[in-house]
Amino acid sequence: MMHDNRIRRFPMLLSTLVALALAVLPLPAVLEPLRPDFLVLVVFYWCIESPRAGGLGLAFVSGLALDLVHGVVLGQHALALTLMGAWATHLRLRIRVYSVLSQCLTIFLLLTGYQFVLFWVDGATGNPVTTFSRWLAPFIGALLWPALVNAFGNLRGRS
Amino acid sequence: MVAFRNTDTSQRTTGLLLRCVLYSLLALGLIIVDKRYDHLGRIRRVLSVVAYPVQVAVASPFDGWNWFKDSVTTRDALRADKAKLEAELRIAQFRLQRYEALEAETQRLRALRESTVGVTDRFVIGDVMDVDLDAFRERVLVDKGAGDGVYVGQAVLDSGGVFGQVARVGQLTSEVILVSDPAHAIPVQINRTGLRTIAVGTGDMNRLKLPYLPTSADVIAGDLLVTSGLGGGFPAGYPVGTVAEVKRDPAQSLADVDVKPAAALERSRELMFVWLKPQTAEVLPTPAAPKPAAPKPAAPKQAAAKP
């Protein structure tokens, strides 16, 4: 069991770093609101795939990293990611046996919850973002989910 | 195929709820401490150094491409550039001829009125990093930080006019909030009439607005807005924008004024961080003594230092 977990750590850290880089990659202003929350998807994946390897600690630390690179109040993304990561971990056995469509819908729900926590903290700390485009990211993220799971499955299958 | 390989469903994550609650409380505590108190400033400054490699890694392909583009420019293009720059320099020098005299005169007049608002002392040039911060806020990351003396609230200009101010400082980088951010407001003055008001961002990089002008205010399209220097954050007299459109609805008490920013908010790559001269009594000169603040002409104007 220990051995198993140790093997999984490397792809986990690598994918987390890559997703963090994607989160700050410059995009044209038009596409920017459409940018999916890559890091959140990756954290969800690892929460569902092997909750013991990373789990909530990974979610919390990734959230802090997002707070830093986005330059928002410290703890905002960490809170959202922790809550939704815990939910994903709780649902993981069900999600694994879901059909693709149901998986996408579940992920969409989780991503929307994530955005909602961000939205709430934004408002509570006094700088609300009221544009509707914020709610587009969960759609794109949910659409990306099957591709992400496939890619990760293949990655791990080869190694 | 969408399938997870890890099928040992017997694994129970022990104490998921407990850990969730603990981490959430930790995050909430961080939010509250960061928002309410200023203790996290130092921690954040150190942590931003950790984020720096990621930001540099993301920005480097774009830097590399720019460098590549620069190094394959043709001789003709360089020549044309040089001719253009020389022409611009000639015009700028011509305009500068009377600047020193005018500045001295302004200082004397200001001294008479005992107002010594915002005089620039020195500046440092920083490069905008090719990194996206928040998609919903108008901010950029610049490669100068606390290590270079940058401080929160510092005025930032580009070659066209006022660009924004420093919102947050890391050790190596700083975040600049643009004048067009909806959360940003800047005290301005209409150059033609001297009327003072506040320009507020709209979230659109090509538009600011003046929401606090009465319908009867003397403002017309084409008016230049300059910083008034009130509030002490910005140096006085730098262009903020030009009035694009004035809509007066007789039923409303306030006019609807659109302003086009003077700075190239979307395109500027090089920004100037401005230090204001400390406002002490010595800034009020007697007419005999011409400006005791000695280092003014010889101010250390650092050229763009690209790391």
Q: What is the pLDDT of residues A94-125, one digit of tens each?
A: 888 888 899 999 999 999 999 999 999 888 88
Task: Classify strands B256-261 and B208-210 as parallel, antiparallel or unpaired.
Answer: antiparallel
Q: How confident is the model at residue B299 (pLDDT cuts 50, 70, 90)?
A: very low
Position A2 scores a pLDDT of 45
CA distances from A110 to A12, A79, B83 (A): 20, 14, 58
A42 vs B305, higher pLDDT: A42
Rounded Cα distance between A117 and A94, Å, is 24
Position A79 scores a pLDDT of 93
Q: Among the ranges A30-39, B35-44, B120-129, B160-169, which has the highest mean pLDDT value?
A: B160-169
Q: How confident is the model at residue B226 (pLDDT cuts 50, 70, 90)?
A: very high
How close are the terminal C-alpha atoms of chain B, in Å? Answer: 47
**Which residue, chain included where needed, has tokens 């500068």?**
B96
Delimit the domains of chain A by residue range.
2-155
| % of chain B with per-residue pLDDT over 70 | 81
Across chain B, mean pLDDT equals 79
Q: How confident is the model at residue B115 (pLDDT cuts 50, 70, 90)?
A: low
Cβ(B193)–Cβ(B237) under 8 Å?
Answer: no
B167: closest CA of chain A, how far (Å):
9
B262: closest CA of chain A, how far (Å):
20
A78: closest CA of chain B, how far (Å):
6
Position B117 scores a pLDDT of 56
Mean pLDDT score, A47-51:
83
Position A116 scores a pLDDT of 92
Q: Name the residue among A41, A36, A37 with its Cα closest to residue A58.
A: A41
> What does the block give as tokens for A133?
């485009």
* CB nearest A79 (choices: B7, B28, B183): B28
Residue A3 exposure: Cα atoms within 13 Å on the Cβ side: 0
Give the list of residues 6+ apart from residue B64 with CB closer than 8 angstroms, or none. Answer: none
Which chain A residues contact residue B141 at CB under 8 A? Answer: 71
* CB nearest A72 (choices: B33, B130, B134): B134
A69 touches chain B (CB under 8 A): yes
B289: closest CA of chain A, how far (Å):
47
For an interface test with A, the pick among B7, B33, B132 (most A C-beta atoms closer than 10 Å) comes out as B132
Inspect the interface and report whether the beta carbons of A79 and B55 lie closer than 8 Å.
Answer: no
Rounded Cα distance between B186 and A54, Å, is 46
B141: closest CA of chain A, how far (Å):
9
Position B6 scores a pLDDT of 56
Which chain B residues contact residue A115 at CB under 8 A? Answer: none
Give the CA angle between residues A131, B34, A119 to the nearest 5°. Answer: 20
> What does the block give as tokens for B91?
């015009």
Instruction: Classify burial at B89, counting beta carbons within 10 Å of its beta carbon; exposed 0-12, middle 13-18, buried 19 or more.
Output: exposed
Q: What is the pLDDT of residues B250-260, one digit of tens each?
A: 888 888 899 99
- Give yes or no for residue B119 having a pLDDT over 70: no
- Give yes or no for residue B85 having a pLDDT over 90: yes
Position A14 scores a pLDDT of 87
The complex's ipTM works out to 0.81
Other beta carbons less than 10 A from residue B87's beta carbon: 10
Rounded Cα distance between B117 and A141, Å, is 50
* CB nearest A71 (choices: B4, B28, B139): B139
For an interface test with A, the pick among B20, B127, B202 (most A C-beta atoms closer than 10 Å) comes out as B20
Instruction: Classify burial at A47, counting beta carbons within 10 Å of its beta carbon; exposed 0-12, middle 13-18, buried 19 or more.
Output: buried
- Give yes or no for residue B83 having a pLDDT over 90: yes
Nearest residue of chain B to residue A131 (CA atoms): B136
Cβ(B122)–Cβ(B294) under 8 Å?
Answer: no
CA distances from B179 to A7, A157, B296 (A): 49, 51, 27
B162 vs A25, higher pLDDT: B162
Q: Name the residue among B135, B146, B167, B49 with its Cα closest to residue A68.
A: B49
Which chain A residues contact residue B57 at CB under 8 A? Answer: 21
Position B107 scores a pLDDT of 75
**Which residue, chain included where needed, has tokens 């392909």?**
B61
B282 vs A89, higher pLDDT: A89
Residue A17 in 3-state DSSP?
helix
Mean pLDDT score, B79-106:
86
- pTM for the whole thing? 0.69
In total, the C-beta contacts within 8 angstroms joining chain A to chain B are 146
Position B199 scores a pLDDT of 93
> What does the block give as tokens for B190?
């209409």
- Give yes or no for residue B12 having a pLDDT over 60: no
Q: What is the pLDDT of residues B164-208, one digit of tens each?
A: 999 888 888 888 999 998 889 999 999 888 899 999 998 888 899
Q: How confident is the model at residue B290 (pLDDT cuts 50, 70, 90)?
A: very low
| % of chain B with per-residue pLDDT over 90 | 19
Q: What is the pLDDT of residues A50-101, one digit of tens each?
A: 877 777 888 999 998 888 888 788 889 999 999 999 999 888 888 888 888 9
Position A155 scores a pLDDT of 58
* CB nearest B44 (choices: A17, A70, A74): A74
* CB nearest A68 (choices: B19, B33, B48): B48
- Give yes or no for residue B147 having a pLDDT over 90: no
